[in-house]
Copies of this chain bind each other. A is one copy, B any other.
Amino acid sequence: MTPSLPDFPAPSARDQAVLDASRTVVQLFLRERSVDFSVKELAGHTGLSERTFYRYFPRKEDAIRPFVAAAIAHVVAAVRTAPADLPPAEAFRHALAGLLDMGRSVDVETFLTLVNGTDRLRAVWLQVLTDAEEAFAGVVAERLDLPADSVHARFAGAVVVSASRLAIQPTSIASRPPSEVFAACMALVGPALLSRKE
């Protein structure tokens, strides 16, 4: 039997191995409060050969990507399963807050500091966020009953990502909690972007 839908690929053993390796790398970064490691070292810490490391991660800085992508997928899933009558903006806000609470297990703040302090990692971070726009556009489209590739949906996805990014920036955090900043941003864009038209 085929236990999973063909177009919704079940996470293969390999994907899991990649994600594990990614998580190990991130934990190493956080433990040492540094990202200054050679590939040889990273491969050693993850129990992979150097060659396999490069097969898992096309470039060494991509090692953080699966971990971050998984976190975002978590948010998307949370929004998707939120009660249907919850306004999309609220659903996102809750999901985001949930993620940052989960942050007790991984110190989100130092992670972001490390990532933003390193050009190469910052680049990966931005790429992942840009990919997230698509996923967010998808769930917005679902909720508002729009085509997922419409300008409206895609723009909404991008706006939500922007608000999220702003909400978790250190300078914003200092002033007030992320979910407040996020809500403030959502209030600014008005109802046209994220409400279902009757």
Contact = CB atoms under 8 A, between A and B. Distances in A.
Interface string A168-198: 0001100000000100110111111100000
Nearest to A191: B190
Interface in A5-45: none
A162 B155 CA distance: 7
A40 to B, nearest CB: 21
Contacts of A123: 123-124, 126-127
B184 A193 contact: no
Contact of A190 (B122, B165, B172, B189): B189
Interface in A125-155: 126-127, 130, 149, 151-152, 154-155
Interface of A: 58-59, 119, 122-124, 126-127, 130, 149, 151-152, 154-156, 158-159, 162-163, 165-166, 171-172, 181, 184-185, 187-193
